[in-house]
Structure 1
């Protein structure tokens, strides 16, 4: 604009309304009165294209339905019909409905067929009916002449993909197009931007590929890191590496972590010298002991600064032990993005079981239908939820006192009513009625709370059914993590009365509305993006938990997610992880190399951050001193010193230098394809282990390997992210 650009020929695209309004306000402040470029959300541009296609008669006129409940009803109807077409009398579980909603999001963020999206998205084979259900959903929408929010881009782009000549109505209207948060763009939105640009517009994508973490919504980081410069040529990169949020210690740890990504061209983040001197602390967790979070937060609570604090985790289930600890201590908190812990279906079912044994409730009367409904539906008995909702409402007046003994009979009556049409469902209700008899019969009245919880879980095979019925391994892990934390709480509490006393304060935390007063924010790493706090606590930093051990996990996205978490901190970053003597020694002794197969319990991401030399380098930088640091690795620290202009040298240990030579041999090898599962007898090479052969397939990606040069057998993860390659010719150093 300041160099004479025409605002009418400029378009700025934002991901949401708040970003659009904020950008417009910044333009006004920078340019004063007068015309400014067109600032829109991606969906509003899609809607404008859709409206022109409708007015031109190319697409039918349909009603935009903004109600999430209506969208959910359409999805449920389609999935239920698809399930029936598979020849089963069972109905989808709640988890499978949620999985289908995610599948809809993924398909409507892409131009590929639903089958192709399903194959690469890691859904369970049992959920293959999602493909049919998606087609039924589109047919239902067409029949009822309804579109939803994600159709604002999906519907017109599908049409333009099939009729590319119609882009002439929309292309070549702009000289400049700027797209914010480009690292989060999906294939559908990229297609729209490309079409709008035509042959006239210069396109600028602004974003940080190190923070691309929304693959579950369909975003693809490669659209920014690779595809952009293939489509928009010539392409110029403008690195924006300087941060003004945190200090050198966090910056160097973040760089060490992210440079292990498969894509090596993600760039550095460099802290400005005027930034806060952010300190990184570790809180090792000891079995059977409190985490120390209450003591950590005490000064903040005393100063009325709990709002300056946040606890972040990979999944909500990783927060559960800490929210229980905070609730017991009376520290105000709120879990953002999730309903209250006790109201989660798997937890509500167990709370209901304990309450029925006790004959008293800590849950308000108006909420009890939800709890008995959760007990009837978790784990899923594969019965219509409409039927079970009616049963729950009928049972609600009978949840206390002697009337509880009538509950098994009510459920048995429903089982008999559906037996002729749904034998399997009736049998499931018979088993659930028997579980109710156990709960209300009085035999468990004096049992410890943990015994009741475990007995109900065993009787209903809760863990097994959740694991099998979940649409993805990750969703199963989330629910099972909640159960594990709840069982541990019951074990700590002891008796039923003591357990209900502990649960009492959490019964009031049922919605997603945060309290008005000062409180700690608990949320997931995904939801923390774009935010910052003086104190950030990261939890769940356990090997096998973060990153997860699921075979279909995108390891690079997990690494970027950890990067996002540690870069939220302004003054203090506190990492909660299990006790790990190997980690302690690796931080204290900079020249010590721990054996590759030595067992560790902390997340490998903490090891990757290499806190030992980072801490020493931070001290030298802040003191303005010169020095040499001996380190086991130098992925990013020398580059950081050069970017900063700091006179500090990183010198590798002799063992690290030898490893570097072996690593160079990998250039003569081939990458293991994504998703490939090695077979027994196949040879692979690793810089630490040399040439090895698969001796036994344990559970992919875990294999028993045997060294070809020493016959040593060891188990390890074999995939490209772990450094294994296919030897095209065996390196001489092997």
Structure 2
């Protein structure tokens, strides 16, 4: 089966559904009852397999569509699942995100369980977190980065089902340092945040899950009602489930075992949010009778891209990691992946934009091209380069499609036209006539910028009407508006023409014909703050996700320095070491036979500084890691210069903002305090402070010493060395 067709006609029999699948996908679909775990490699058709499983279950009479709840992690994925099920002739299946399914149940059962109407859900928690911090006299009101970091930590605590009372122990067990605070202070922030929400009479998105779990756990009658409605469950992207979502799923399923989970351990990239692959990897332990199916046939990418992906996920040892599957390419040959080196970041961005402009000029659709990078801060250079090249682009994660003014205005005009739709004109023609009144033109504008973006948005609506008629030939304008309303509610945006700029995290689940994977140097991939073996492996999986987004052509690039004329201190990503056979010797992070020595001693083995055991002020025994790091017990006052500490803190915030990372990943508060306390005068002395490893010493050592000597922050930032900028 060399290809996987799209837009297949509506199937009417169970046999037709199975006939459309490869042997492994057929194994998934042909057994719609009982527990099953599907280990699905990238591009192996997992969505196809599970939607056909549901369709086969309905068409074979194994169950009714209304009894199925299919859960995934993004509104886009849920919308795609609904569209595919409709194409397969299946109606009534609830395909939703965890939050959407829980919110629906919460609104329905709240009057019965609590009384009255369910509280409003906050769209974002930054303002409430800032108010909580202010109530504790934490001076963070103007520090947006710090507030964002605190909000992320609040989310992690809640999805990990930690309370203010249990947070400190949970954070220690997870080896997690709260952003800029110690665990006790963070627990106080959590408590204050909950009080702020209570005062406002609102809940957050994590509360939606927590409250639903609470109601189902405490009210057997409500739990029975949910389980009588939904008897069969499918969970996509199961490697991303967190503890709270797993608890909710357990309550939904109850004592039954009609549960099919699908995931790929090699695409676990959200552990920082509380996601854990152990639920996927331990599924058989919890369900001993579960069938196990591995999807290994990759239909998305060329053999050349698949070959590189397998090498990246294996690494130089050649051993497959994390129970990942070895992909088997099913598509036709394509061009080999290419790795290019550039002197600096602007040169890399200009080269990428130039190559994209050539492809667009030769007829490649901009919508089939993506530029991927590790951090959002890398986007700006590519935005400027593409604008200079006259290439339309969109930044994934920017303004939501249905929130754009031109889209809202066009939908308003379509609602007015729906009242007089007499069926005399084909739906796509009628939609285009209405869009002409909204400022759309049949020909694309020659210019770029905002005008081109508006045109692309309206063109996406026109194309969506074509798609609806292709699946429902009798559809009229009211049907089209219902489709738009459903998509808007689920934030299932249509494809918009333009080169996609996206971080690797945002790119997961998407694919393009041509992918430019940029910034593939140590410090970006893996990111500089990834220091533990577990964190490094997650970064490897992140690169694997990036590689497997490409259908036909993959171009990798890196730059030796950040700015023109700076010393080239970067090296290619270590994750490419095992791919030198494909990409050439220039892919190696270190030349053959070389090893790094110095502060790390033998390569890869850092020399840990010796931490003091007693307070240098009073001699009391130091009992916590934070106390030992600063060399001072909690009862003794700080002995550092406040001016020095403030310079260090201001510098850290600027570096964190520039790198698009939380401030604590540059240096934690405890490390920053220890530096201010000891005032090291040399790199050797600085290296003896816990939290200043060899990598951070190389990146920040000269700057920290300059700040301690009294140099102002602005001048230090202006003359940062290339080594510092290499690992944003």
Scaled by the length of structure 1, what TM-score is found? Answer: 0.53
Question: Deviation at 1:600?
Answer: 6.7
- 1:223 paired to 2:279: yes
Match of 1:557 in 2: 538
Aligned partner of 2:386 among 326, 336, 353: 326
Distance 1:678 1:523, change over 3 A: same
Aligned partners of 2:130 and 2:147 also within 8 Å: yes
1:238 aligned counterpart, secondary structure: strand
Structure 2 segments unaligned to the other structure (5+ residues)? 1-56, 401-446, 460-496, 562-568, 594-604, 612-686, 700-728
Aligned partners of 1:313 and 1:525 also within 8 Å: yes
Match of 2:421 in 1: none
Cα distance in structure 1, aligned partners of 2:273 and 2:225: 29
- 1:197 paired to 2:256: no
Cα distance in structure 1, aligned partners of 2:186 and 2:449: 35
1:155-166 to 2 correspondence within 5 Å? 155-158=211-214
Aligned partners of 1:311 and 1:522 also within 8 Å: yes
Distance 1:319 1:25, change over 3 A: closer
Aligned partners of 1:246 and 1:278 also within 8 Å: no
Aligned partners of 1:13 and 1:180 also within 8 Å: yes
Distance 1:258 1:146, change over 3 A: same
Match of 2:340 in 1: 283
Deviations 1:497-530 (A, max 9, x none): xxxxxxxx99979999977795322111111112
Deviations 1:6-57 (A, max 9, x none): 2254432233444334323433433x37x65444432243235434653334
Aligned partner of 1:299 among 322, 346, 358: 358
CA RMSD in angstroms, aligned pairs only: 4.5
Cα distance in structure 2, aligned partners of 1:149 and 1:13: 16
Aligned partner of 2:575 among 605, 612, 621: 605
1:364-375 to 2 correspondence within 5 Å? none
1:261-410 to 2 correspondence within 5 Å? 264-287=321-344, 290-291=347-348, 292-304=351-363, 305-338=365-398
- 1:27 paired to 2:82: no
1:261-660 to 2 correspondence within 5 Å? 264-287=321-344, 290-291=347-348, 292-304=351-363, 305-338=365-398, 519-550=498-529, 554-578=535-559, 601-608=571-578, 610-612=579-581
Distance 1:569 1:202, change over 3 A: same
Match of 2:415 in 1: none
Distance 1:146 1:513, change over 3 A: farther
Aligned partner of 2:298 among 218, 236, 243: 243
Question: Deviation at 1:283?
Answer: 1.6
Match of 2:719 in 1: none
Cα distance in structure 2, aligned partners of 1:248 and 1:122: 42
Aligned partners of 1:14 and 1:180 also within 8 Å: yes
Deviations 1:117-160 (A, max 9, x none): 65544432337644323323323333443234442212222455
Deviations 1:225-262 (A, max 9, x none): 23x23323333321011111112222122122223499
2:159 aligned counterpart, secondary structure: coil
Question: Deviation at 1:312?
Answer: 0.4
1:206 aligned counterpart, secondary structure: strand
Scaled by the length of structure 2, what TM-score is found? Answer: 0.53
Distance 1:338 1:18, change over 3 A: closer
Cα distance in structure 2, aligned partners of 1:316 and 1:248: 30
1:108 aligned counterpart, secondary structure: helix
Match of 2:145 in 1: 95
Aligned partners of 1:16 and 1:41 also within 8 Å: yes
Aligned partner of 1:76 among 127, 131, 142: 127
Aligned partners of 2:70 and 2:96 also within 8 Å: yes
Aligned partners of 2:131 and 2:196 also within 8 Å: no
2:515 aligned counterpart, secondary structure: strand
Question: Deviation at 1:339?
Answer: 7.8
Distance 1:278 1:107, change over 3 A: farther
Question: Deviation at 1:60?
Answer: 5.1
Question: Deviation at 1:196?
Answer: 1.9
Distance 1:96 1:677, change over 3 A: farther
Cα distance in structure 1, aligned partners of 2:454 and 2:198: 34
Aligned partners of 1:172 and 1:200 also within 8 Å: no
Match of 1:111 in 2: 161
Aligned partners of 1:182 and 1:207 also within 8 Å: yes
Aligned partners of 2:266 and 2:323 also within 8 Å: yes
Cα distance in structure 1, aligned partners of 2:163 and 2:178: 16
1:237 aligned counterpart, secondary structure: strand
Cα distance in structure 2, aligned partners of 1:600 and 1:173: 57
Question: Deviation at 1:547?
Answer: 0.7
Aligned partners of 2:153 and 2:179 also within 8 Å: no
Cα distance in structure 1, aligned partners of 2:162 and 2:218: 12
Distance 1:176 1:233, change over 3 A: farther
1:547 aligned counterpart, secondary structure: coil
Distance 1:607 1:51, change over 3 A: same
Cα distance in structure 1, aligned partners of 2:453 and 2:151: 21
Cα distance in structure 1, aligned partners of 2:70 and 2:217: 23
Aligned partners of 2:302 and 2:330 also within 8 Å: yes
Cα distance in structure 1, aligned partners of 2:308 and 2:95: 36
Aligned partners of 2:298 and 2:330 also within 8 Å: no
Distance 1:540 1:21, change over 3 A: closer
